[in-house]
Structure 1
């Protein structure tokens, strides 16, 4: 077990790509949330937006790792209509009492990231120690590395990463 856990949800793979790069940079364990209903097709996309706007948590499969086993947890989500994803909402509602220190990141197509992170922080009942908004096109093109390096550096200053973490990041 490592000292940091990254828990994320990704519908299109963008948040997944960012989460894995951050986990590699920080030497963190990682856990992907699996919703019990699909958000993949056009109807799923509409359901995703509806659930986010209405703040409806999506049922998720049981996770393998428990946040109380880690002194630090990083939560990652895509931004849906200016809100966190419904699977992430469920996870936070289920597990927030087990969070010690929290970092947050989100991926977004255009805007709404800061609002989504504020919403996550409020739901966690914790002020995040580190936070980051990433644009989808930056992640897809590999131009997010500098931002992830800065986030990993912040986590490293908190004693949650190995000293060489920043050198592990490389463009995709």
Structure 2
């Protein structure tokens, strides 16, 4: 099963998790780029405002990839005001060729309701996610995430093996 790990990260937290997943699965990695948001107080304020309004920004993928070339996408997003980051929402809405198999991991700094983000992804895809993982800031700050990420990756690896 060909897999792509596709993520958006403003602070670098989701990027770090995405890289770990891609390395563990020995698979391709691509970034959702968005010039609209920058780190810092004003950038975070704009991101939160756009998230609440549902404003979808322009995005690009780096490197440029076609989702149709993959059997599965593992999508990563931070939680912004209880929802997927707007660049990830833009990817779900605007990119063609989403495969039937999509898994999602979200990173949350402690504020926000991850269930809303997970439901938002399933709604955009029009089918259930194959797997999901919620990582809080305390999971990421501890020496070990308590096995949450390890179990998520192991489940993805087992699914890929079972599906050939």
- TM-score normalised by the chain length of structure 1: 0.85
Structure-1 separation of matches of 2:4 and 2:95: 13
Partner of 2:28: 29
What does residue range 153-164 of structure 1 map to in structure 2 within 5 Å?
153-159=154-160
Structure-1 separation of matches of 2:121 and 2:91: 11
Show structure 1 runs of 5+ residues with no match. Answer: 162-172
> How far 1:129 sits from its partner (Å)?
0.5
Partner of 1:48: 47
Report SS of the residue matched to 2:147: helix
Structure-2 separation of matches of 1:4 and 1:10: 19
* 8 Å contact kept, 2:5–2:30: yes
Q: How many residues align?
A: 160
Q: Output one character per residue of 1:95-122: Cα deviation in whole Å (capped at 9) or x when no partner.
A: 2543221001100011411211111111
> How far 1:145 sits from its partner (Å)?
6.5
Partner of 1:167: none
Out of 134-143 and 83-92, give the one that drifted further: 134-143
Report SS of the residue matched to 1:159: helix
Partner of 1:116: 117
Partner of 2:7: 8
Q: After TM superposition, which residue ranges in structure 1, 4 or more long, deviate above 6 angstroms?
A: none
The structure with the largest strand share of the pair is 2
Show structure 2 runs of 5+ residues with no match. Answer: none
Report SS of the residue matched to 2:135: strand
Structure-1 separation of matches of 2:44 and 2:132: 26
Report SS of the residue matched to 1:40: coil
The 3 A distance-change label for structure 1 pair 44 and 21 is same
State the structure with bigger RCO (CA 8 A, min sep 6), 1 or 2: 1
